[in-house]
């Protein structure tokens, strides 16, 4: 059920926001510095700790899995929106830096994907392939 684990998520969120505010004050900025990121790190560490000691029920684990899947894209979308607004206010240099970062990231995708190894799915398909005559049959093309 989705409601399970929300209290743990809320506690981590409050602690993270509080620590982010303290971090901002300590470096002289009147803003939250990394509070959401700290909350996510605290949540990950706390869930791992509770799982290892069997203190987290299965419904709570499923609820936290749901909120983790929902939470991260929402936070990224919100921060991306703020970054775009900041870049537009920052002038052409900020916009050019953003475009350069995206283009460089796109150019690195082929380079990074070459370093990957054979996945478990590829191995499973290879193990389950039946060769009859000149044709290969596996789970994907058997009807």
Residue with tokens 């206010």: 89
| Beta strands, E only, the chain | 130-132, 135-137
Band (pLDDT 50/70/90 cuts) for residue 68 is confident
The DSSP line for 47-86 is HHHHHHTT-S-HHHHHHHHHHHHHHHHHHHHHHHHHHHHH
For residue 89, report the phi and psi dihedrals to the nearest 5 degrees.
-75, -25
- Alpha-carbon distance of 62 to 43, in angstroms, equals 14
Instruction: Tell me if the pTM is above 0.85.
Output: no
Q: What is the mean pLDDT of residues 89-110?
A: 85
Whether residue 141 has pLDDT greater than 60: no
């Amino acid at each position: 059920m989705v409601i399970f684990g929300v209290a743990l998520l809320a506690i981590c969120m409050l602690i993270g926001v509080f620590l982010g505010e303290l971090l901002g004050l300590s470096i002289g900025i009147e803003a939250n510095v990394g509070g959401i990121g700290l909350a996510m790190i605290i949540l990950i560490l706390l869930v791992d700790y509770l799982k290892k000691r069997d203190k987290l029920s299965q419904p709570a684990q499923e609820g936290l899995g749901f909120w983790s899947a929902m939470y991260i894209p929402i936070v990224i979308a919100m921060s991306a929106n703020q970054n775009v607004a900041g870049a537009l206010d920052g002038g052409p240099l900020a916009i050019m830096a953003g475009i350069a970062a995206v283009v460089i990231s796109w150019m690195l995708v082929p380079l990074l994907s070459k370093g990957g190894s054979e996945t478990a799915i590829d191995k499973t398909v290879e193990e389950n392939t039946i060769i009859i005559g000149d044709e290969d049959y596996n789970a994907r093309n058997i009807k």
